[in-house]
Structure 1
Amino acid sequence: AFSHDALLFRRGSCLFLLILCSILGDQDNATNGMRSDFMDIYLGANCAFCISVGTGFDAVPAIFRRSLVFVNAAPLGYCCTSLSNLLLAKHHIDINSGHELTLHKIFSLGIGFCLRSSDYESKNVDLIENTPEEIRDVAVEMVERLNETWQEYPEDEVLQQRFWEIFPTEAVDASEGKPLHGEIRARSGANFLRLNPDWIK
């Protein structure tokens, strides 16, 4: 079982978070001089789960079938959905109105597949990072799922269904012509959907 008393690692020069089971404390391997390529692979292979922003290192824990939590996900359409991951999208804010775009708007306006900052600028969209509380909630959800102590709310499955009905699960890579998503096994962070049901209308 995963312990809430866990060792939290920041790894590599990009400061990803790794959580290692059953040890109390934290280590900043990114800046304390202890970082090495071997340690990066070791942590990726042995962590209970990895919190990532999806910029590459998460491939290591994925290879070793470690669970992944993607936070600040953008572009959302390229998230890895074929593993039992948890997803948390960046906030997409309409610069003109100041309102947050719904999931439907993100994809209907083509923003869910934007790869360059200039693409977001041309669509007048500002990306805002997840709050510490949002990241905490989705991390705790993963801990409890791994420990098999996660408690579903009655509305959770309905919210998840709404999310995946809007998400373009049949999307195809524009350059290679191959499907981006296989069998959908990932879930959107539950507490975020509970608190923001209008986001998936």
Structure 2
Amino acid sequence: MTPQEHLAELNKPETLQELYALVQPHLREGEKALVYPLPFAIAIGHLAPEPHYLASLYDEVYDKLVLLTPPRALPRINKPLFDILSNRFAMVETQNVTLLTARDLDLGMTSVGPFDFCLEHTNRFYRAFTLHCAAGKRQVHLGLDPGARERGESWLKNEAGIDPGTPFVVMHVREPNYSNDSGSASFGRTRVVDPESFRPAVDWLLEAGYAVFRIGRPGSPPFRHVSSRVLDLANEDRGSDFLDVYLSAACAFSLNCMSGPEALARAFGRPSVNTNLLHNIYAHHLPEDLFLFKKFHIRDSTEPLSYEEQLELKMPSRMVLGPLPDSRWYEAEQIRAEACTPEDILGAVREMHDRLSGARQANPANERFLELSRSYENSISRDEQARSLGMDIYSYAHGMGELSSAWANLNPWFLG
């Protein structure tokens, strides 16, 4: 359906009547409401962060925020998270594709009688959230209701055998079975990580007194450990969608890679060690987050591309071109990704532990990273096409989280 056809379909009286009929039961006289379409609710990487972004941007502007989603009954929707969201947002379910994808029209906030309808393209919405954070404005995170928190704490004590007060880390690794989405298979493969590279970090966390819960899809490669304080919930019957949510919301920090569950921890305001990242202009982090990147090689080069060289190739912008990353460019340029080493991940985990314990050190590597990132933003802000697509800012230019100092020291090639 072309944009013109989509707009014509949206403007049909029967379509607008259906929208009103869906939303009207949630409206109260005198309230100002915003309806936000969330078509990709089946993906935790959208169902978790986008409501967090929406509340951060508009909680003080509107009396009620309404999420327009596909039906909760769809198999892949995380139903416990859906229910937690229903405590904070009005949830409206529909199968009307015209309404669910209306944001693609990129028409901004549109008044539809008694409420506003968000027709802002995803890029512009993410852009707005980036600028919101860059201005130091308040972020509104998701929260567990008392019943969910009590249920989770009971599970920790009675089923996991974890003593109350024991800090724990949630670990998620994007394994090969995550890269089977047909349109972005090559991009999915680029994000794949070997769980074994996390083992030294897990061993260190155990020595430091943490428990570690590995979450993920059933059938993920096993992560076995002799310690009873390491639970591979992706491969246990007691793993569940609820535990994915509870543990991500209550952990000391999350240890993850570039995949949906990292956004789940961030939506609940929990810090993360984000490993094996690919550059992305809208890579959102919390202030306490630490991040480290995959190495990239071009063609037959044995030396990894420095950050400056990656920016010259406009790799952060290519990561969000179209509905999917520009995988054809990556293939044409023969870009190869190399995962972080076990030493890289261990160093960043120890650094996070020190930071959370109050031993925060100066991070000159991050200052150089910010300098280069700001230079890149300056270049894309002058690009007319980037501006027209809402891709003219760069989140890493605004101090969202910090480059891991430990990783930068182990990888001096990155900053040159």
Relative to the length of structure 2, the TM-score reads 0.42
What secondary structure, in the 3-state scheme, does the structure 1 residue paired with 2:260 have? coil
**Match in the other structure for 1:140:** 350
Deviation string for 1:69-114 (max 9, x for gaps)? 1111013444224532111010011222221100001111122333
Aligned to 1:89: 293
Q: Describe the superposition over 1:18-38 as per-residue Cα deviations: whole angstroms up to 9, x where unpaired.
A: xxxxx9710000011222111
The whole-number CA distance in structure 1 between the counterparts of 2:390 and 2:280 is 18
Measure, in 1, the Cα distance between the counterparts of 2:401 and 2:354: 16
Structure 1 residue aligned with 2:399:
184
Mapped partners of 2:371, 2:254: distance in 1? 27
1:45 maps to which of 249, 259, 263:
249
Total equivalences in the alignment: 190
Q: Which residue of 2 aligns with 1:102?
A: 306
Whose Rg is larger? 2
Query: Which residue identity is paired with 2:364?
Result: V
In percent, how many aligned pairs have the same letter? 24
Structure 2 Cα separation of the partners of residues 65 and 53 of structure 1: 17
Q: 1:73 to 1:64 in 2, by over 3 A?
A: same
Q: Distance in 1 between matches of 2:356 and 2:371?
A: 26
Alpha-carbon contact 1:5-1:24 (below 8 Å) kept: no
In structure 2, the CA distance between the partners of 1:130 and 1:162, relative to structure 1 (3 Å rule), is: same
1:67 aligns with 2:250: no
Match of 1:194 in 2: 409
For 1:119, the equivalent position in structure 2 comes to: 329
Distance 2:257 2:344 in 1: 14
Give the structure with the higher percent helix.
Answer: 2
TM (norm. structure 1) is 0.81
Aligned pair partner of 1:157 in 363, 388, 401: 363
> Alpha carbon RMSD of aligned pairs, Å?
2.7
Maintained 8 Å contact 2:262/2:274: no
Which amino acid is 1:141 matched to?
A: E
Alpha-carbon distance change, 54 to 9 in structure 1, aligned in 2, over 3 angstroms: same
CA contact (8 A) 2:277 2:291 kept: yes
**AA aligned opposite 1:193:** A
**Aligned in 2, Cα 1:142/1:176: closer, same or farther, shift over 3 Å?**
same
The partner residue of 2:212 within 8, 11, 20 is: 8
- CA distance, structure 2, for counterparts of residue 111 and residue 178 of structure 1: 14
What whole-Å deviation, never above 9, does each CA across 1:96-149 have from its counterpart, x for those lacking one?
A: 222110000111112233324433222221001101111111111111111113
| Structure 1: runs of 5 or more not aligned | 16-22
Kindly provide the amino acid, as one letter, of the partner of residue 196 in structure 1.
N
Structure 2 counterpart SS, 1:199: coil
Cα distance between partner residues in 1 of 2:293 and 2:236: 30
Structure 2: gaps (5+ residues):
1-165, 168-204, 221-226, 320-324
State the partner residue of 1:18: none
| Deviation of 1:55 (Å) | 1.6
Deviates more, 1:35-44 or 1:181-190: 181-190
C-alpha distance after superposition, 1:130-169 (max 9, x if no partner):
011111111111111111134x3xxx53322111111245
Q: Given that residues 50 and 58 in structure 1 are in contact (C-alpha distance below 8 angstroms), is that contact kept between their aligned partners in structure 2?
A: yes
Correspondent of 2:341 among 121, 131, 135: 131
SS at match of 2:292: strand
Relative distance call for 1:49 and 1:178 in structure 2 (3 A) is: same
In structure 2, the residue matched to 1:20 is: none
AA in 1 matched with 2:217: S
Q: Which structure ranks higher in relative contact order (CA pairs < 8 Å, sequence separation ≥ 6)?
A: 1
Q: Alignment partner of 2:269: what SS? A: coil
